[in-house]
Structure 1
Amino acid sequence: MTRLFRLLVFGLCFSALRAAEKPNVLVILADDCTYSDLSFNGGQNAKTPNLDRFANESLVFERAYVGMAMCSPSRSELYSGRLPLRNGCAWNHGKSRPGTRSLPHYLGDLGYRVGLAGKKHIGPREVYPFENVPGFDDNCVRNPTLPHDLGGTREFMTRKGDQPFCLVIALVEPHAPWVMGDRSAYPPRKLKLPPYLADTPRTRQDFASYLAEITYMDGQVGEILGLLDELKLADDTLVLFSSEQGAQFPGNKWTNWDSGLHTSLVARWPGVTQPGSRTRAMVQYADVVPTLIDLAGGKPEPDAFDGTSFAGVLRGKTDEHREFAYGMHNNWPEGPPYPIRSVTDGEWRYIRNLTPEKLYIEKHLMGRTEHNAYWPTWVFRAVENPHALELVERFVHRPAEHLYHTSEDRFEMKNLADDPACAEIKARLAKELDRELADQLDPGIPLDTPEAHHAADDLKPKFPGKP
C-alpha cells in the first residue's frame, strides 16, 4: 500500500468519523431577501461572490419554503419546528404560545450551547431562551445599520472547545430601508426587473438600493465564514444559509406567491454534503429543528413538530422529503384583515383568498413613502400603461383561487384556476389544503382579526391551534 493511498484512506475514515460526531451548527439568516434574486438561484442582478463561493461548496435546496412570508412567523417556525398556527405566532410582530419549546431547549438538552446574534423578532423569552451573542445590529429598520463586530461570535464559538455549539447569526439586510452598500454598483437602467415589478424610474432606483444591500449582506457572510476558517472550525461545522421570506416589494413579502414563501437554503457540512450539488427535495422551515435534533444524536418526536428530519437529504441518501409545503397569511396588523392559505407540491401552487371581495392593502408598501416610494409611481403609470395597471390590480384585487404551474411560470404571473385542463390538479391541491387546515384547527377568517391578534399579544392561548 503506497503512502499516498494510506493517507487517502485515513482521510476518508477521519471524515466519516468526524461526520458521525455531533457537528457544530451555524445558521446565517438574511432578512427579507427574495429567493430568486440570488444568483445561485437564478438571479440576474445581485453581486454575491461570497454566497456564490459558499453555494459551490455546498448542497443547494431548490425547493425550501417558509410558512408565512413575514419575519416573526417565519422565524418562530424555524426555531420551533412548528407551523405558525401551532406555535402561536400567526401574525407579524406576534408571539408564540407559552409552553412551546424551541432550538435552545432541544439542543441544550443534547449538550449544546445555543446562541443568537443580531435580529430577534421572536418571543416570549421563555419560549426562545437563546444566549444573546453581541456584535450584530438587532434593529432591522435602523438607518444606517450599526457596524458589526465578530468579537462576540469568536468568543461564543471558542468558549468551550469540547462542547458543540449552535449559533444563529440573524443579519438585518436587505430589510428596508435600503441604505447600506454601494448603490453605484447597480446602475438602475441596466437592471433586469422581475415581471411582477412595474417598470418605473423610482422602482429601478429602489431595486438598485435593495440589490446594494444584498451585496453588503454578502460581505458579512464572507466575514463570518472567514472567521470559521480562521478558528479551524469549518470542518466540524454544519453551516446553513437561508434568505427568510421575499423582499418588501409587491408580490413578495406578505403574500403567498412563490416569491414570498420560497426561501434559499444552502447546507455545507464537510465530509457529508456533496460540494456543488443541488437537490429538489422539498423542505419547509418546520423541518429544520427536527433535522438538527437528529444530527445531534436525539430522536425528534413526531407529535412535537410539524416537520421531520431531512438528514437523509444532507447525507445524500435521498432526493425526496415532504410531498407538500404549506403557506398562510394573516394581514392584521400589516393592513386590514385579508386571510390567505396555500399549498405547493413544488411543481404547482394553489392559493385560496378567504375574503376575495375585499381589497388587499399593506400599509408598509402602500401607505408609507420614506423607503417604499415606488408604489405611487405604479398607480400613476397605470393610468396609461396596461401592464402597470395589471400589476396594481394583481396586488390589490385578487380572485378566490389561484393556480400556478410554478415550475413553468417561475414568477406565477398566469393564473390557471379557471382553466378546465387544470381542474384535476386544482382539485387535488385544494383537497390537500383542506386536510391541512383541518389538521391545524385553522378557523380561517376569524383568525385574521384584531381580537385574535390581541389575544396572542396577551400570551393567552385563546385562539385555535393543534396542541
Structure 2
Amino acid sequence: MKHFATALLCGLTLAWISTVTADQKPNVLIITVDDMSCDSVGAFGCELAETTPTIDALAASGMRFHYAHVQVGNCFPSRNVMFSGRYPHNTGVEGFYQVRDTQYAHLVDAMKDAGYYVAIRGKVTHSTPYQPYAWDQDLTIIDGQKQHIKNADSYYRSTKLGIQSAAEANKPFCINVNVSDPHKPFYAMSSKGQVVKDDNVPSKIFTADEVPIPGFLFDHPDVRKELAHYYSSVRRADDCVAAVLKALHEAGNEKDTVVFFLSDHGMPLPFAKTALWHHSTRTPWIVRWPGVTTAGSVDRQHMISAVDLMPTLLDILDLPAPNAFDGSSFKPLLEGGAQPGRDVVYKVYNENSGGNRSPMRSVETKRFGYIFNPWSDGKRIFKTATQGTMSYRAMRTVASSDPVVAARLQHFNHNVLEEFYDYQADPDALHNLIDDPQYQKEIEELRAEMRRFMVETNDPILAAFDKRHDLAAVSAYVDQVQAESDARRARKRTNKSPQQDDSLFRLVVPKQVQAGQAVLVKIRHTLPKAMAEQQFHVTLKNGDGGRVERIVKTASGDGVLEIEFDVPANLKTKSVVVSAFVGPEYGKHHLHRTKGGIAVTQP
C-alpha cells in the first residue's frame, strides 16, 4: 500500500486524457469521508503537514472548489441531500429515520435506469431514504463477511469487487465508497477518551504537541489529545482513499471514470458537527473528470453545495433529470466556464440522531453568514453528539475559572436567535455581529435571501421566520416540530416487531452447494394457533450479500416448508447465504434467521 501511495502521488499529477468515446458512458466513483473538516485536508490549507497526501494528489489531478458546502451538519440528512438533489424538507429525511413514501428519484434509481451497475460501500443505511434500497450490490459484505469500517485494505477489496461485478454485468459502474474515518471512534481511542489498542494503524500518527487547535476551540491537554487522534484518523481516511484509487488504477479505469470526493460535514467536535457555522458545512470538494477538468485547477469564484451533486452528475452523463431538483448543475464550471447566480448557499439543520429538534437555517456568501436559530430561547439546551467528546467535557471544566471559555460554553449550549458573521475576517464564528450597526445593510440582505430560499423551496420554517420577533410564536413552532419528532419515535417503538421468539422456526441448509444446481432449504416451523397463517420470506444471497432469489410461502402450525433455489452456474462468490423471516414484512417480522458461509463448489 505504501509503495502504491508513493507512485500514486506522482501519477495523479499527470494530465489526464479521456479515452471515452461519444457512445461510451464514463464510470462514476463517488468517495466520501465521514466527519472531516475541509481545512483538515492539505490541499485546502491544513496547518498540519502530511495529513492527506493521497487526497492532495487527487486534488492536483482534478479541480477543487474553494467555496463548497454541504447542506446539513450531520450524516443521514446530509447524504440524502447529495443523492437526491433536494433539501431535507423536500426529501422528508430531516433526521435519522426512514421515509418510505418518497415521490422522487434517488441517485440509485436514476443511474440504474441509465444502465449503470450501482454499488455502495459503507454508510448504507444513511445514504437512502429507507433501507433496504435497490443497490445492485453492498460492497460492505464480501463472501458473507462484513468488512471492517476502519481497515484500509478492505476498501481496496470492496472497490475491486464493485468494478469486477460491473464488468461481469457488462455495465458501466457507479460506485459510492463511504470511508468511515475520521468519524468516531478515532484511531486508538475509546469513547471515554482512553488510549486503546487499534490494529488499523494509519500510515502516520500525529502527536498532541504538534496538532493545530481550531480557532473555535481552546488550548487544553484533553483537546490536544483528542485532536491528535482525530488527525491520525484523518490520515487513516487518506490511506483508505489510497486503497480505493489503487483498485481503480489496477482495473485500468482511471481515464474513463469521473471521480467526486467530498466530506459529509465538519469534524465531530463542538462548534463543527451538528451545526451550521462555516466550519460545520464547508467541504473539501474535488472533481476529476478525465479530459475535461484541468489538473490542479481551483475555483475561487463560485459557490456550490451538496444539493448540486446529483444534478451535476446527471448533466455530466447527459442523462435527463428524473424530477425537479432544488440544486442545479455546475457542469459549466468543470468545463472551465463561468456560471451566474452562484454566490450564496442555503444550509439546513433540524434534529440529531436522538430525535432532539434544534431547527436552524443559514445563508452563506463568500464573505458573510447569517443564521436563524428558532430553538434558542435562553432555556433550551442544544443536544448533540459532540457533547460526549473530551473537548466538550474540558470546556465545561475550564468554564468554571475562565470567563472566555464560559462565554463559549454558554453560546454553544444556548446560542441566540440570530447570528451574523464576517467569515472572511472571522471564519471560526467567534464574534456575532448581529447587533453591529456597521453591518445592518448586509444583515437585511441575507435575511431577504433566506426568505427567498424558504419561499422557493417550500420550507415549512417560513412562518416561524416571518414571526421571529414574536418569541412565543417561534417557541410554539419548535414545540410543534419536537412533538412531531416525539410522535414519530413513539410510532416506531409501537410498530417494532414483537419480542423475537426463537421457537418459531429453524433454518436447515446444506453445508455446501454446487453452482448450476438446485439447493433445498428446509424451514421447520412451530407456529402457535394464535398466529394463524404466516408468511415465510426466504432469500438466497451470494457471498457479497446480493440477492439471488427470494421466495415467499405461507404456513401455519407445526410442519416443514421446503424451498428450492437454483444456484447460478456463473456465481462468482465462493459461498452463499440463506436468510428467512416470518411475518407480513421485514419491519414487522417475528423472527429472522440467517445461515451464512455455505460453500459453493464448481462442477
TM-score category of the 2 structures, normalised to the smaller one: 0.7 to 0.9
The match for 1:411 among 428, 445, 453 is 428
Work out which of the residue numbers 140, 150, 160 in structure 2 matches 1:154: 160
Residues 336 and 83 of structure 1, relative CA distance in 2, 3 Å threshold = closer
- Pair 1:58-2:62 in alignment: yes
Q: CA deviation at 1:375?
A: 1.8
The partner residue of 2:440 within 398, 402, 423 is 423
Equivalent position amino acid for 2:111 in 1: L
1:14–1:148 Cα change, 3 Å: closer
Distance 1:127-1:391 versus aligned 2 partners, 3 A rule: same
Contact in 1 for aligned 2:266/2:281 (Cα 8 Å): yes
Does 2:177 correspond to 1:169? yes
Q: Contact between 1:290 and 1:309, CA under 8 Å: does it hold in 2?
A: yes
Matched, 1:43 2:51: no
Give the letter aligned to residue 331 of structure 2: A
Taking the aligned partners of 1:167 and 1:231, their CA distance within structure 2 comes to 14
Question: Is the CA contact 2:179–2:241 (under 8 Å) kept in the aligned structure 1?
Answer: no
Q: Partner of 1:351: helix, strand, or coil?
A: strand
For residues 24-39 of structure 1, the aligned pairs below 5 Å read 24-39=27-42
What CA RMSD, in Å, does the superposition of the two structures yield over aligned residues?
Answer: 2.9
Rounded to whole Å, the distance in 1 between the matches of 2:490 and 2:314 is 29
Q: Does 1:129 align with 2:150?
A: no
**Alignment match, 1:339:** 359
1:293-308 aligned at under 5 Å gives the runs: 293-300=314-321, 304-308=324-328
Give the conservation status (yes or no) of the 8 Å contact 2:65–2:285: yes
Please state how far the C-alpha of 1:135 moved relative to its aligned partner: 4.3
How many aligned positions are there? 440
Q: Give, in angstroms, the shift of residue 439 of structure 1.
A: 2.9
Q: Flag the 1:78–1:184 CA change in 2: closer, same or farther, 3 A.
A: closer
| Higher relative contact order structure (alpha carbons within 8 Å, sequence separation ≥ 6) | 1
Question: d(CA) in 2 for partners of 1:403 and 1:13?
Answer: 43
Segments of 5+ residues of structure 2 without an aligned counterpart are 1-14, 189-200, 462-476, 493-603
Confirm or deny: 8 A CA contact 1:332 1:449 kept in the other structure.
Answer: no
Aligned residue type for 2:38: Y
Q: Would you say 1:365 and 2:373 are equivalent positions?
A: no
SS in 2 for 1:272: coil
Q: Kindly tell me: are residues 150 and 191 of structure 1, through their superposed partners in 2, closer, same or farther at Cα, counting changes over 3 Å?
A: closer
- 1:146 is displaced (CA, Å) by 9.1
Do structure 1's residue 86 and structure 2's residue 90 form an aligned pair?
yes
Aligned to 2:76: 72
Q: Quick one: structure 1 residues 243 and 321, their matched pair in 2 at CA, closer, same or farther if it must change by over 3 Å?
A: farther
Residues 42/229 of structure 1: CA separation in 2 closer, same or farther (3 Å cut): same
Q: Find out whether 1:396 has 2:413 as its counterpart.
A: yes
Provide Cα deviations, 1:77-120, integer angstroms capped at 9, x if missing partner.
Answer: 01111111101111234546523310111122222121111122
String of CA shifts for 1:21-57, please: whole Å, max 9, x gaps: 4221100110011112212111112611111111111
Partner of 1:196: 216
Q: CA deviation at 1:298?
A: 1.5
Amino acid at match of 1:109: D
Cα 1:13/1:322, change in 2 over 3 Å: closer
Structure 1 residues 362 and 136: CA distance shift in structure 2, 3 A:
farther
1:439-454 alignment runs, 5 A limit: 439-444=456-461, 445-446=477-478, 448-452=481-485, 454=487
Report the AA paired with residue 349 of structure 1.
G
Percent sequence identity over matched residues?
Answer: 27
The amino acid that maps onto 1:267 is V
Matched letter for residue 64 of structure 2: V
The answer to whether structure 1 residue 284 and structure 2 residue 295 are counterparts is no
Shift of 1:356: 2.2
Measure, in 2, the Cα distance between the counterparts of 1:13 and 1:179: 35
Deviations 1:183-206 (A, max 9, x none): 983221222101111221111101
Match of 2:333 in 1: 313
- Structure 2: distance between partners of 1:455 and 1:13: 50
The secondary structure found in structure 1 opposite 2:261 is strand
Contact 1:356 1:400 in 2 (8 A): yes
Post-superposition offset of 1:158: 3.2
Match of 1:255 among 275, 279, 293: 275
Give TM-score, length-normalised by structure 2. 0.68
Contact 1:404-1:415 within 8 A present in 2 as well? yes
1:381 correspondence with 2:398:
yes
1:339-397 Cα distance to aligned partner (Å, 9 max, x none): 2111112221110111321343224222x4xxx23322211112222332232122113
CA contact (8 A) 2:30 2:177 kept: yes
3-state DSSP class of the match of 1:317?
coil
Q: Is the 8 A contact 1:283 1:325 kept in 2?
A: yes
Report the Cα distance in structure 1 between the residues aligned to 2:177 and 2:105, rounded to whole angstroms: 20
* 1-structure distance, mates of 2:185, 2:62: 31
Larger Rg: 2
Match of 2:83, SS state, is: helix
1:406-453 CA distance string (max 9 Å, x none): 123222222111111111111011011112223333333356414246
Once residues 99 and 261 of structure 2 are traced to their aligned partners in structure 1, the CA distance between those partners, rounded to angstroms, is 24
C-alpha separation between the residues in 2 aligned to 1:335 and 1:378? Answer: 25
1:133 positional shift: 3.1
Please identify which structure carries the higher helix content.
1
- 1:178-257 to 2 correspondences below 5 Å: 178-179=186-187, 181-182=201-202, 185-257=205-277
Q: Is the 8 A contact 1:283 1:321 kept in 2?
A: no
* Cα distance per residue 1:190-249 (max 9 Å; x no partner): 221011112211111011111111100100111111221111100011111111101111
Residue 314 of structure 1 deviates from its aligned partner by 1.0
Aligned to 1:113: 117
2:358 is paired with a residue whose SS is coil
SS in 1 for 2:385: helix
Distance 1:19 1:185, change over 3 A: farther
Cα distance, 1:164–1:17 mapped onto 2, change above 3 Å: closer
**Counterpart residue type for residue 86 of structure 1:** N
